[in-house]
Amino acid sequence: MQQQNEKNEIPFNGEFEDSEEESDEVSEEDSEDDSLQNKRKRKRRQLVNNNKRLIMNVSDTQYAAVKFVGKILNKFKLQYTPYQETQVWDFCWTDNAVLPETLARMQSHQRINHFPGMYCIARKNYLGKNLNKMAKQFPSEFDFYPKTWMLPSDISDLRQYIGKIKYFIVKPEASCQGRGIFLTKQIESIASEHCVVQRYLHKPLLIDGLKFDFRMYVLLAGCDPLRIYLFKEGLARFATQPYQQPNQMNAEEMCMHLTNYAINKDNPNFVFNTDEKQLDIGHKRSLSSVFKLLSQQTNIDELMAKIKDLIIKTFCSVQPFLQSNYTQPDNYANNMCFEILGFDILIDNTYKPYLLEVNHTPSFTADTPLDALIKKNLIRDTITLMNINLKVKNELQQLQKEQMQKRVFGKKLKLSNEEKKSLKIQAQIEREQYESQHLGNFEKIYPCDKSYDEYLQHAQKIYEEWTGANIRRNIKKDNFTERDKLTQQRQIQHSITIQGSVDSNNKQQVDPAKSSNRKSLYKNVLIKKENKSNFINKVFSNPQKSMTELPQQQPLEQKLQDRDDNEIASEDFQSTSKYQDNIERAKRPPSFYVMKSIKQNQELQLVDFFNYKRISIPETSPQSQPNTQQVLQISQQQQFKSVTQLARKFSIRKSNKSKLKSSESDQEAKKDLIQAFNQYSQIQQQQQQSSFFQSQQQNFLNQQPLQNGSFVKPKVFNLKLQPPHFKIPPFPILMQQQNYYKFRYD
Ligand code: ADP
């Protein structure tokens, strides 16, 4: 606090001439004369200097207030090299939007004053779209902005309001300073234009007969999770002509209907603020002075609560988008970006606040004492709250060094999701502690006691629908939950299988977790896993008789490779080395899955996942081969025995089933498997006594591993992902339009 008071004492009159960058760098002339040793010395000095002061890049800001606070109040070293061209800065303040790539390139100690993707609320049309989507679900909760239509897409909806709404206010999609705004009743004349149309709030609250609105400064200090602070001071901007409800005579009077400083300051009536001690007069006043005035008429706390609520809801509507643009997911403190946003709020004559607009590059021009005072304090408090200082930088760099060393010594650095989560929580707690003691003139408005989860969840849903992420996520979720459930079951199943088989000496057993991955992709299909030896033992006439030998494996792989509809692809397995996978697979003992359709109860499938063999046998069709008939009988019996507890439900689409049934190659596979059974019968008759383990292992090691290492999903899942009629919506074109704001204004 003491430090802050000291800072306060340094006056700022709105102007600041910086004596250019203090250059430590070696100039070309110097470098010609200099010996190598001198050059090294300079470089070392430069490094030491860099470590003594924080470097603030101000190459892309025009505001004296920013430079003043950086250099004079915080003792930062100002840098003027474009921030995109150098990485030697600790803190960057830019007047323009930043791209996700910029953030992705940043190191953990660097800070920047924008979130990538903030145009999602800073452009009028996107703000309108995002709020409209939320309002559809929560109409009474999202009624804090004037009804908005985006033309030309919303024209038919807008037509329904013609006659019901007296006047509309028409705004360009992405402009500012009141440019291009007009009032109209004639919607048809602009029906094909790209613009934003709003209900004109024709009964605003007036002070001294003048319309006014508030510019409130909001600091978004983190987007995942949201951290929102409201600056207690702001501006009230007044129109310069007495207000009348719009009519044909006055609809074009901009100084009556618009409160923009840029429009009204040129009106001869405009009264400028001249003294920082007199903030309650003129056409631009301090927010607090107007609140004081209003407190005589209404309950200011209630009004403030409504304003805070609308601010939080606005952020909730775009939180998932901001999070997806935050390309530093391992920044557990969630603090590499921050942003000061200007919320424009109009109060109507019932004291209901309306959000008109959000500015992500509010003006920091300090052309009056009022502006200079508010903006200097705002920037100063922001830097303090964001904890941008040398100590933090050094700590982070030290941490980085340690991690690097660990990496060099081969220590495990990859964190589990649980570990990441707890690190994140820890970082949030630390932030909470620090920020609560360094609020300055800020008030934390989110997180707060009230829960906004339902809005956040709905926004997430909207976002996923928009990007198609819900489809991908659902599939992944299916896989994961099935996998989790199965992992446990696999283990029990596996032990039972091993117990009942002659395979107990075989050390190369199936990894239950891995095998469950594969199975989890089938749904609504009853699956029983049997060790091949055990399975065949049961299949053939004398299930009690111990297995002594296995039939020669049929080389079905070659045929199955051509089977398009049998190809199983997996996201989970794509990343693993196919070659390694094949070797591993060849070493594993054989396993069968007997899958039976539950929905239609029409077919039985025998699948050897390790060897990519599968046959589908229609249950209804009579089987000529006695062996196959037995397979069916026994597997059906097994469903009702103890093995049933091992069964899992999976779904497989009807379309896929019919495809599989009709597939020719399926017939081939069936023939092959039946042939294998027949062979086995013969072998059994001959009663050869060669070693089961040797032959089994040899057989599998001899097999050619499949060329196609991808595994897991039957094609139906690919179809589910991208059916012919389905198109993942393209990423919005707005991603490319980051630098649309060239003008800043109050
Ligand atoms: P700009 O970004 O160009 O300033 P705004 O949306 O902030 O555009 O609108 C400019 C001004 O117009 C506001 O300050 C306000 O006075 C007035 N205004 C905007 N929308 C409405 C509305 N729906 N009803 C009444 N007045 C409005």
What is the gyration radius of the CA atoms in the chain, in angstroms?
A: 35
| pLDDT given at position 319 | 96
Range 396-407 average pLDDT = 82
Nearest to residue 582, comparing CAs of 699, 702, 706? 706
Residue that has been written with the tokens 């700590």 in this structure? 395
Which atom of ligand 1 is nearest the CA belonging to 180?
A: 3
Please list the residues that pair with 353 across neighbouring strands: 347
The rounded Å distance from CA 314 to ligand 1 centre is: 17
- Burial of 50 (C-beta count, 10 Å sphere; 0-12/13-18/19+): middle
| pLDDT given at position 280 | 86
The rounded Å distance from CA 177 to ligand 1 centre is: 9
The amino acid at residue 490 is R
pLDDT band at 671 (very low <50, low <70, confident <90, very high): low
The rounded Å distance from CA 182 to ligand 1 centre is: 10
Is the model more confident about 415 or about 340? 340
- Burial of 578 (C-beta count, 10 Å sphere; 0-12/13-18/19+): middle
Helix (H, G, I), strand (E, B) or coil at 229: strand
Residue owning the nearest CA to atom 23 of ligand 1? 200
| pLDDT given at position 134 | 97
Token pair listed for 438 = 């360094």
Residue owning the nearest CA to atom 12 of ligand 1? 258
Residue that has been written with the tokens 């007044």 in this structure? 238
Token pair listed for 451 = 């829960």
Those residues with Cβ within 8 angstroms of residue 243's Cβ, 6 or more apart along the chain or in another chain? 204, 206, 209, 210, 211, 256, 257
Residue owning the nearest CA to atom 18 of ligand 1? 258
| pLDDT given at position 276 | 81
The rounded Å distance from CA 665 to ligand 1 centre is: 68
The rounded Å distance from CA 123 to ligand 1 centre is: 13
The rounded Å distance from CA 279 to ligand 1 centre is: 23
Percent helix, strand, coil in the chain, to 5, is 45, 15, 40
Which atom of ligand 1 is nearest the CA belonging to 258?
A: 16
Q: Is 642 within 8 Å of 514 (Cβ atoms)?
A: no
Those residues with Cβ within 8 angstroms of residue 593's Cβ, 6 or more apart along the chain or in another chain? 519, 527, 528, 529, 530, 605, 606, 607, 608, 609
Which atom of ligand 1 is nearest the CA belonging to 239?
A: 16
Phi and psi at residue 324, to the nearest 5°: -70, -25
Percentage of residues of the chain with pLDDT beyond 70: 58
| pLDDT given at position 16 | 81
Question: In terms of DSSP bridges, do strands 77-79 and 55-60 run parallel, antiparallel, or are they unpaired?
Answer: parallel
State yes or no: pLDDT of 611 exceeds 80. no
Which atom of ligand 1 is nearest the CA belonging to 178?
A: 3
Residue owning the nearest CA to atom 2 of ligand 1? 176
The rounded Å distance from CA 260 to ligand 1 centre is: 8
Residue owning the nearest CA to atom 25 of ligand 1? 201
pLDDT band at 547 (very low <50, low <70, confident <90, very high): very low
Question: In terms of DSSP bridges, do strands 353-359 and 339-347 run parallel, antiparallel, or are they unpaired?
Answer: antiparallel
The rounded Å distance from CA 94 to ligand 1 centre is: 26
pLDDT band at 260 (very low <50, low <70, confident <90, very high): very high
Q: Cis (ω within 30 of 0) for the bond into 152?
A: yes
- pLDDT tens digits, residue range 161-201? 988 998 999 999 887 888 899 999 989 989 888 999 999 99
| pLDDT given at position 168 | 95
Percentage of residues of the chain with pLDDT beyond 90: 44
DSSP structure string for 37-68: HHHHHHHHHHHHHHHHS-EEEEEE---HHHHH
The rounded Å distance from CA 288 to ligand 1 centre is: 21
The rounded Å distance from CA 244 to ligand 1 centre is: 16
Lowest mean pLDDT among 89-93, 182-186, 549-553, 595-599: 549-553
| pLDDT given at position 603 | 56
Which atom of ligand 1 is nearest the CA belonging to 260?
A: 14
The rounded Å distance from CA 178 to ligand 1 centre is: 7
The rounded Å distance from CA 116 to ligand 1 centre is: 25
The rounded Å distance from CA 98 to ligand 1 centre is: 26
Other Cβ atoms closer than 10 A to 433: 10
Nearest to residue 738, comparing CAs of 92, 176, 107, 123? 123
pLDDT band at 485 (very low <50, low <70, confident <90, very high): low
- pLDDT tens digits, residue range 54-76? 999 999 999 999 999 999 999 99
- Burial of 641 (C-beta count, 10 Å sphere; 0-12/13-18/19+): exposed
| pLDDT given at position 11 | 81
CA distance 174 to 296: 37
Pocket test for ligand 1, best of 258, 259, 343, 352 (most atoms within 8 A of CB): 258
Lowest mean pLDDT among 357-366, 440-449, 482-491: 482-491
- Of 20-34, 58-72, 539-553, give the range with the top mean pLDDT: 58-72
Across the chain, mean pLDDT equals 72
Residue owning the nearest CA to atom 11 of ligand 1? 258
H helix or E strand, kind and range, residue 616: strand 613-618
- Of 45-59, 290-304, 625-639, give the range with the top mean pLDDT: 290-304
Which atom of ligand 1 is nearest the CA belonging to 181?
A: 3
State yes or no: pLDDT of 718 exceeds 70. no
Range 408-437 average pLDDT = 85
Token pair listed for 381 = 């408090």
DSSP structure string for 98-121: --HHHHHH--TT-EES--TTTHHH
Helix (H, G, I), strand (E, B) or coil at 331: coil
Which atom of ligand 1 is nearest the CA belonging to 359?
A: 2
Lowest mean pLDDT among 91-95, 200-204, 551-555: 551-555
Nearest to residue 160, comparing CAs of 145, 147, 142? 147
Which atom of ligand 1 is nearest the CA belonging to 344?
A: 7
| pLDDT given at position 330 | 83
- pLDDT tens digits, residue range 338-396? 999 999 999 999 999 999 999 999 999 998 999 999 999 999 999 999 999 999 999 88
Residue owning the nearest CA to atom 7 of ligand 1? 357
List residues near ligand 1 (CB under 6 A). 146, 169, 171, 175-179, 181, 198, 200-201, 213, 258-260, 344, 346, 356-357
Q: How far apart are the first and last CA of the chain?
A: 30
State yes or no: pLDDT of 609 exceeds 80. no
Residue owning the nearest CA to atom 19 of ligand 1? 356
| pLDDT given at position 467 | 81
| pLDDT given at position 68 | 95
DSSP structure string for 528-568: EEEEHHHHHHHHSS-TTSPP---PPPP--HHHHHT-TTT--
State yes or no: pLDDT of 449 exceeds 60. yes
The rounded Å distance from CA 176 to ligand 1 centre is: 9
Lowest mean pLDDT among 42-51, 387-396, 517-526: 517-526
Token pair listed for 396 = 């982070």
| pLDDT given at position 337 | 96
Residue owning the nearest CA to atom 22 of ligand 1? 200
Residue owning the nearest CA to atom 14 of ligand 1? 259
pLDDT band at 49 (very low <50, low <70, confident <90, very high): low
The rounded Å distance from CA 150 to ligand 1 centre is: 15
CA distance 654 to 661: 10
| pLDDT given at position 408 | 74
The rounded Å distance from CA 581 to ligand 1 centre is: 63
pLDDT band at 713 (very low <50, low <70, confident <90, very high): very low
Pocket test for ligand 1, best of 245, 260, 284, 740 (most atoms within 8 A of CB): 260
Those residues with Cβ within 8 angstroms of residue 282's Cβ, 6 or more apart along the chain or in another chain? 238, 270, 271, 272, 273
Residue owning the nearest CA to atom 15 of ligand 1? 258
Helix 300-325, helix 124-137: angle, nearest 10: 110
H helix or E strand, kind and range, residue 136: helix 124-137
Pocket test for ligand 1, best of 197, 356, 741 (most atoms within 8 A of CB): 356
The rounded Å distance from CA 356 to ligand 1 centre is: 6
Token pair listed for 184 = 């109209």
| pLDDT given at position 669 | 57
How many Å is the maximal CA-CA distance in the chain? 113
Pocket test for ligand 1, best of 149, 169, 212, 257 (most atoms within 8 A of CB): 169
Phi and psi at residue 617, to the nearest 5°: -120, 115
The amino acid at residue 7 is K
| pLDDT given at position 674 | 62
Question: Taking CA 740 as the corner, what is the angle to CA 734 and CA 743, rounded to the nearest 5 degrees?
Answer: 155
Q: Is 609 within 8 Å of 515 (Cβ atoms)?
A: yes
pLDDT band at 401 (very low <50, low <70, confident <90, very high): confident
State yes or no: pLDDT of 13 exceeds 70. yes
CA distance 303 to 294: 10
Which atom of ligand 1 is nearest the CA belonging to 179?
A: 3
The rounded Å distance from CA 359 to ligand 1 centre is: 12
Which atom of ligand 1 is nearest the CA belonging to 259?
A: 16
Lowest mean pLDDT among 490-499, 569-578, 585-594, 621-630: 569-578
Lowest mean pLDDT among 189-193, 487-491, 502-506: 502-506
- Of 121-135, 171-185, 583-597, 602-616, give the range with the top mean pLDDT: 121-135
Which atom of ligand 1 is nearest the CA belonging to 200?
A: 24
DSSP structure string for 377-419: HHHHHHHHHTT-SHHHHHHHHHHHHHHHHHHHTT---PPPHHH
Lowest mean pLDDT among 11-25, 165-179, 512-526, 681-695: 512-526
Lowest mean pLDDT among 407-411, 450-454, 535-539: 535-539
The rounded Å distance from CA 146 to ligand 1 centre is: 10
